[in-house]
Structure 1
Amino acid sequence: MKILHIDSATTGANSVTRELTAAATAHFKEKNSDAEVIYRDLGTEPLAHLNPITTGAIRLPEDAQDADMKAAFPSERAVLDEFMSADIVIIGAPMYNFTVPSQLKAWMDRLGVPGVTFSYSEAGPEGLAGGRKVVILSSQGGEYEQGGAAEHQEQLLKVFFGFIGVDDLSIIRANKIGYGPEVRDAAIADAKAEIAKL
């Protein structure tokens, strides 16, 4: 079994999602002692945003790639291969300015690959990246109505992972963490209790 552990917060030791992703990884590791854990820290080692070279490396067939795209392909494809080889994907996704951190979006952009994680036909889109469990650990400074006008974080994640075929998706949220230490601690404790049920 492989567990892919993704962090994206830039708040270091103060990060709620880092604490929760560590708890979730430990939970699944305890249940699967022989599991291999692959860790990617997008907060401290962010991926670059896509550009014409990386887009071509990810999306174009080899015979349509120029030399720069071919040189970029191995490292770009490695991001997707990490995801596709994982049985469980644990993602720390704090809300930054009503959506996900841009470094998390840059990682997601490398997962949306036509012909690999989704395809189109006359019947519409079909997700091809099922067969793995995705657990999202979310944090929000306030409290936002799901699907409301200001909530573009969890909704984006649900739509994206659903689009590429992930049908085993859990979102565990610690919200109102900006309301003070007691509220923050209670939110973290509640989230950890939900993790224990996975």
Structure 2
Amino acid sequence: MPQLLHLDSSADPARSISRQVTARFSDSWHAIGTDHSVIHRDLHLNPLPHLPTSALHWAPHLRTSEESVDAAAEALQTELIEELISADVVLIGAPMYNWSIPSTLKAWIDYVHVPGVTVPFDGDTAPLVGKPAVVVTSRGNDYTPGTDAASTDHATAQLRQVLEFALGMDVRFVPVDLTLAPRVPALASRIPQARANLEAAYSAADELALLLGGSSAGQE
């Protein structure tokens, strides 16, 4: 049964652009067949606690003798990692907040990026290599390559570093720029482009859901 892990992190459940696009992907995934399941984790409505100790950054066998870990925190980390590993495809809604990612999404990353468990350190521990991930990045301004603001998009760079380079996942980004055009007077002239960007993101979500959902089904 192909399984999608769907993560949302926007603090605006009602009007969020990233949530609209991830919902479009999830709906397209469901539409492939009744066997295509979805685990939805809303990191804003049900935020994860921050790591209670830096010891959780390491696999149990890599912790020092002085480091102790609360059993409940370790159980939560195990749950999150197993949930990630078991998914055939991972979908992440990552709006840009202050040129970076929401703290709720960062908390999830801190739980699942673990040398010796999900990241190679003292052995071949790389269970996520090649796993498809789709990241919907919604940005208020225009951050496309070549624009003046492009170098300040730290959200995409951070997620690429963690998901692609560290965890080894096969990451596809679906950017949606100019989401603040209807709200910010200085961007009002670009409202048509904002609408076109959203439509392009919807189309990309549909295409990727069909592509990756079909590939996952073929691997069963």
TM-score range, shorter chain: 0.7 to 0.9
SS of 2:168 mapped into structure 1? coil
SS of 1:178 mapped into structure 2? coil
Q: Spell out, residue by residue over 1:50-87, the C-alpha distance to the aligned partner (whole angstroms, 9 max, x if none).
A: 221xx434635279564x52232112211111111100
> Quick check: 1:57–1:70 contact (8 Å CA) kept in 2?
no
> Quick check: 1:91–1:136 contact (8 Å CA) kept in 2?
yes
Runs of 5+ consecutive residues of structure 1 not aligned to the other structure: none
Q: State the AA in 2 paired with 1:143.
A: D
Residue 151 and residue 127 in structure 1: after superposition, are their counterparts in 2 closer, same or farther (change >3 A)?
farther
Aligned residues: 192
Q: Distance in 2 between matches of 1:126 and 1:78?
A: 17
Q: Give the corresponding residue for 1:191.
A: 201
TM-superposed CA distance for 1:127, in Å, is 4.7
Q: Give the corresponding residue for 2:136.
A: 137
Identify the structure with the greater strand proportion. 1
Runs of 5+ consecutive residues of structure 2 not aligned to the other structure: 183-190, 209-220
SS of 1:91 mapped into structure 2? strand
Task: Kindly name which structure, 1 or 2, has the bigger radius of gyration based on alpha carbons.
Answer: 2
Q: State the AA in 1 paired with 2:24.
A: A
Q: Distance in 2 between matches of 1:165 and 1:32?
A: 28
Q: State the AA in 1 paired with 2:60.
A: P
How large is the RMSD of aligned CA atoms in angstroms? 2.5
> Quick check: 2:99–2:154 contact (8 Å CA) kept in 1?
yes
User: What percent identity do the matched residue pairs reach?
Assistant: 31
Among residues 177, 180, 204, which one is paired with 1:178 in the alignment?
180
Q: Distance in 2 between matches of 1:146 and 1:40?
A: 31
